Amino acid sequence: MEKVIDITERVPAMKKRRKRRTNFKFIALITIFLLIILVLLYFQLPYSNIKKIDIEGAELRDEAYYLEQSGLRVESSLWDFKTSDVEQLLAKNEWIKSVDVKRKFLNDVEITIDEWKKVAYISKDGDFYPMLENGVVFSETDEVVPIDAPIFLKFDDESLRKKLLKQLAGLKPEVLSLISQINSNPSEADPYAITLFMNDGYEVRADANTLAEKLNYYPSIIAQIEHQEAFEKGIIDIEVGSYYRPFSDEYSLIDMSEAESEEGGQAEQTNDEQQEQQTGED
């Protein structure tokens, strides 16, 4: 026979459960209320103001420039701006690849600048201007002769310059650092012909369309040349294939060509004199 539970025995347990639920709801409401009060106080008091602005990646321009461009100020409200708006403001600079703005903790802002890489300099009126991998010539000049990137000379063709800058950006850093100077020497046969003067004394003749693909093998080419018992520095031609010619051979050919030109001129002069003499006798 089942035991009959008296309702009076269940009342105390029901009262306890009801009291626990009431207390839980009361505590939850008090907690929410306190959180709202704290949030309101946070926004009203100086605790929500910017205390520090960190700028990472600034190289082409200093941090003060980017701080001014961002429009952010220390002690201004941390929540009074949109990060996307600040990113758009800074991204207007043509030498910037990307910008990332983040709020950190309760009072800090972090701005990360990703600038286009500087890959060369161009000489204009005695000044050196950095050129970036996206083809932009940076307006700020370097007061001293640059040593951290190659110098462009005789590059009036902007399209050729941009094409070459993209090629330089594709070079390995250790190869790029070996280039001292680049000259443009186009011809009818090859309008993209260039000459590179290397820091280790070699001269490279190449095509601007295939420079990165071929010049990245430069260290191995040099190793093969200098592995020979009697090697001499000279010219490495990678325009079409890849071959090497010592400077002594190159300059001897030039000297012979000049000598032939001089002999030809002297012969023409002698012929002219003989013709004049014959005319005089007639």
| pLDDT (0 to 100) of residue 271 | 52
Domains recognised in the chain with CATH numbers: 49-115 (3.10.20.310), 118-241 (3.40.50.10960)
Determine the Cα–Cα distance for residues 66 and 77; give it in Å rounded to an integer: 19
What is the structure's pLDDT at 238?
94
**Per-residue model confidence (pLDDT) at position 109:** 96
pLDDT value at residue 275: 53
Task: Give the C-alpha separation, 195 to 206, whole Å.
Answer: 6
> At 80, is the secondary structure helix, strand, or coil?
coil
The structure tokens listed for 242 are 């890849």
Tell me the backbone φ, ψ of residue 226, rounded to 5 degrees.
Answer: -80, -5
**Series of mean pLDDT values for 10-residue runs along the chain (282 residues):** 55 69 83 82 76 94 94 91 95 95 92 94 86 88 76 85 91 93 89 93 94 94 85 90 87 55 51 52 50
SS3 (DSSP) at 115: strand
b/e sequence 14-46, b meaning 16+ C-beta within 10 Å? eeeeeeeeeeeeeeeeeeeeeeeeeeeeeeeee
Nearest to 155 by CA among 208, 210, 215: 208
In terms of C-beta distances under 8 Å and separation of at least 24 residues, what long-range contacts does 229-236 make, across chains too? 233/200, 233/201, 233/202, 234/202, 234/203, 235/202, 235/203, 235/204, 235/205, 236/202, 236/203, 236/204, 236/205
Give the pLDDT confidence score for residue 267 in this predicted structure: 45
